C-alpha cells in the first residue's frame, strides 16, 4: 500500500514538473522572433512590465512598445492595446505606455487603446476578450513570458500568436525566466480550477 502511494506521488510530481515544458512546446510554433514572419492581425496586445522611478516605461516595457510600433509601421496591426496596472496615482502603466508610443515612437493616438486594469496577464487577456471582444491578436512581450501569455489568452478564447520583444540581455533575465516556471502553475490553476476575479466593465469599441 505504501509503495503504491509513493509511486502515485512520484508520478504526480513528475507530471507537475513537466507542465511548464509542455506549455512551452505547445506554443513554441506560435512564437515569432522576426517581424518578417508575422502575419496581419487587427490588434496587438502589449503587456505591462513596470515603470521607472520617473514614471516612464522600464527597459523591458520599452522593448515591448518598440516591437508593437514596428508592427504598426509595417501595416501588420491596425490597433495597439496597451494593458497595465493603474491602482496607484504614481503608477499608471497604460498612460505611460501610450505616451511612449505616441510621443516617442510617433504612433497616431487614435490607434492606441488603453486598458487601465491589466494587473496580471490573466486580467489583460480576460478584459481584452470581454470588453473589446477581441478574438484574434498578436501578443507582444518577451520570449520568456510569451508561452504563459499565449496559454491564457488562447484558453480564454483569443486566437493568439506571439511576437517576442526580447531585444537584449536583461539584467534580471534569469530571475524572470525562473519566475515563469512557477507562474505557469498559477496560470493553469486560474484557467482550469478557480477563475480569478478581475476588473470588469462595459463593452468598448476598438
For the chain of 206 residues, list the mean pLDDT of each consecutive stretch of 10. Answer: 61 56 74 88 96 94 98 97 89 96 98 96 98 98 95 97 90 72 89 92 90
Domain count, the chain: 1
Contact assessment for residue 142 and residue 60, using Cβ atoms and an 8 Å cutoff:
yes
The DSSP string of 46-112 is EE---B-TTSSBPHHHHHHHHHHHHHHHTTSEEEEEEE---SBTTB-HHHHHHHIIIIIS---GGGE
CATH for 146: 3.40.50.620
- 13 within a domain of the structure (yes/no): no
Query: What pLDDT is recorded for position 171?
Result: 75
Give the distance from CA 196 to its chain's centroid.
Answer: 17
Query: What pLDDT is recorded for position 27?
Result: 80
For 201, list phi and psi in degrees, rounded to 5: -165, 180
- 138 within a domain of the structure (yes/no): yes
* C-beta atoms surrounding 31 within 10 Å: 18
Q: Tell me which residue of 139, 78, 87, 153 sits closest to 116, measured CA to CA.
A: 87
- 175 within a domain of the structure (yes/no): yes
Query: What pLDDT is recorded for position 81?
Result: 99
- 23 within a domain of the structure (yes/no): no
Contact assessment for residue 101 and residue 69, using Cβ atoms and an 8 Å cutoff:
yes
Q: Tell me which residue of 46, 56, 52, 166 sits closest to 100, measured CA to CA.
A: 56
Query: What pLDDT is recorded for position 6?
Result: 57
- 14 within a domain of the structure (yes/no): no
Query: What pLDDT is recorded for position 180?
Result: 81
Contact assessment for residue 145 and residue 104, using Cβ atoms and an 8 Å cutoff:
no
- 202 within a domain of the structure (yes/no): no
- 137 within a domain of the structure (yes/no): yes
- 203 within a domain of the structure (yes/no): no
Query: What pLDDT is recorded for position 24?
Result: 74
Query: What pLDDT is recorded for position 1?
Result: 72
Query: What pLDDT is recorded for position 88?
Result: 78
Record the pTM. 0.90
Cα 167 to Cα 10, 52, 61, distances in angstroms: 39, 18, 11
Query: What pLDDT is recorded for position 124?
Result: 98
| Joined grid coordinates for residue 182 | 512557477
Which domain, by its residues, includes 103? 30-192
Amino acid at each position: 500500500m505504501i509503495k503504491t502511494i509513493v509511486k502515485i506521488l512520484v508520478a504526480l510530481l513528475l507530471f507537475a514538473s513537466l507542465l511548464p515544458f509542455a506549455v512551452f512546446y505547445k506554443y513554441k510554433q506560435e512564437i515569432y522572433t522576426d517581424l518578417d514572419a508575422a502575419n496581419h492581425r487587427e490588434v496587438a496586445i502589449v503587456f505591462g512590465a513596470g515603470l521607472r522611478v520617473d514614471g516612464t516605461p522600464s527597459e523591458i516595457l520599452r522593448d515591448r512598445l518598440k516591437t508593437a510600433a514596428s508592427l504598426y509601421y509595417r501595416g501588420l496591426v491596425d490597433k495597439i492595446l496597451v494593458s497595465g496596472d493603474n491602482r496607484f496615482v504614481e503608477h499608471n502603466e497604460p498612460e505611460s505606455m501610450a505616451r511612449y508610443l505616441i510621443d516617442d515612437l510617433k504612433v497616431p493616438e487614435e490607434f492606441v487603446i488603453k486598458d487601465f486594469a491589466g494587473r496580471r496577464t490573466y486580467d489583460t487577456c480576460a478584459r481584452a476578450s470581454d470588453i473589446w471582444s477581441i478574438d484574434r491578436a498578436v501578443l507582444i512581450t518577451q520570449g520568456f513570458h510569451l508561452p504563459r501569455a499565449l496559454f491564457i489568452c488562447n484558453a480564454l478564447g483569443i486566437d493568439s500568436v506571439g511576437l517576442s520583444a526580447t531585444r537584449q540581455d536583461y539584467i534580471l533575465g534569469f530571475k524572470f525566466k525562473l519566475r515563469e516556471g512557477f507562474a505557469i502553475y498559477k496560470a493553469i490553476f486560474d484557467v482550469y480550477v478557480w477563475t480569478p476575479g478581475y476588473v470588469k466593465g462595459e463593452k468598448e469599441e476598438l
